Amino acid sequence: MQHVISALVENKSGVLARVAGLFSGRGFNIDSLAVGETLDESVSRMTVVVKGDDSILEQVTKQLNKMIDVIKVWDLPQGQAVERELLLVKVAAEGGRRSEIIEIADIFRARVVDVTQVDITLEMTGNPQTVVSFLGLLEGFGAKEIVRTGRIAIGRSVGGG
């Protein structure tokens, strides 16, 4: 089962390495890791996506909470968080194929960010499933290069507030 863990951590040197080490030390492969400052520049939010069963995840969450540099940890269950990922994809776009690619991009609200004689680079933001669907439709055009940020997530408000 895939889990999204969000953690507020102190924004200082070495924290990322220690948190990543905690996961690898317990045999977890990190599927995605994104880190950025919060409204308070002394605090960063880490979003970590891992696979594992609930009991192992509970262990890791407890270990994270024991770390000095970790302020707060959340397990964000599927459906209880807004999740997004940023994608840049460079696609072969010679001849009449360019217009087909742009039509697919429009459906997914992707933007053209660079065009050359032989390829087109698109930027797309969406939930992970939408990103995978978008890439699937572009597969037949020959993706030359793909860059994905990894998932970021924020918990949904309870009661509409």
pLDDT tens sequence across 54-102: 887 888 888 899 999 999 999 998 888 999 999 999 999 887 889 999 9
Q: How many helices (H) and strands (E) does the chain have?
A: 4, 9
Cα–Cα distance measured from residue 108 to residue 49, given in angstroms and rounded to the nearest whole number: 24
Distance CA 87, CA 121 (A): 10
pLDDT at position 13 is 93
Is residue 142 within 8 Å of 91, Cβ to Cβ? Answer: yes
Put simply, whether the predicted model's pTM sits higher than 0.95 gets the answer no
Going from the N-terminus, what domains does the chain have, and what CATH number goes with each? 2-76 (3.30.70.260), 82-154 (3.30.70.1150)
Q: Taking the alpha carbons of 2, 30, 81, 66 in that order, is the dihedral positive or negative?
A: positive
CA distance 57 to 73: 12
Distances from the Cα of 105 to the Cα of 37, 137, 138, angstroms: 30, 10, 9
pLDDT at 57: 80
Query: In whole angstroms, how far apart are CA 143 and each of 4, 32, 91, 146?
Result: 28, 21, 4, 7
Q: Are 137 and 71 in contact (CB under 8 A)?
A: no
DSSP 9: E
Write the pLDDT tens digit of every residue in 22-63.
Answer: 888 877 788 899 999 999 999 999 999 988 788 878 888 888
Interval 115-137: pLDDT, tens: 999 999 999 999 999 999 999 99
What pLDDT is attached to residue 156? 86
Which of 71, 9, 54, 58 has its CA nearest to residue 34? 9
Written as six digits, the tokens of 160 are 């509409």
CA dihedral 70, 81, 77, 65 (to 10 degrees): 10
Higher pLDDT, 110 or 59: 110
Instruction: Kindly report the average pLDDT of the chain as a whole number.
Output: 90
Residue 141 has pLDDT above 80, yes or no: yes
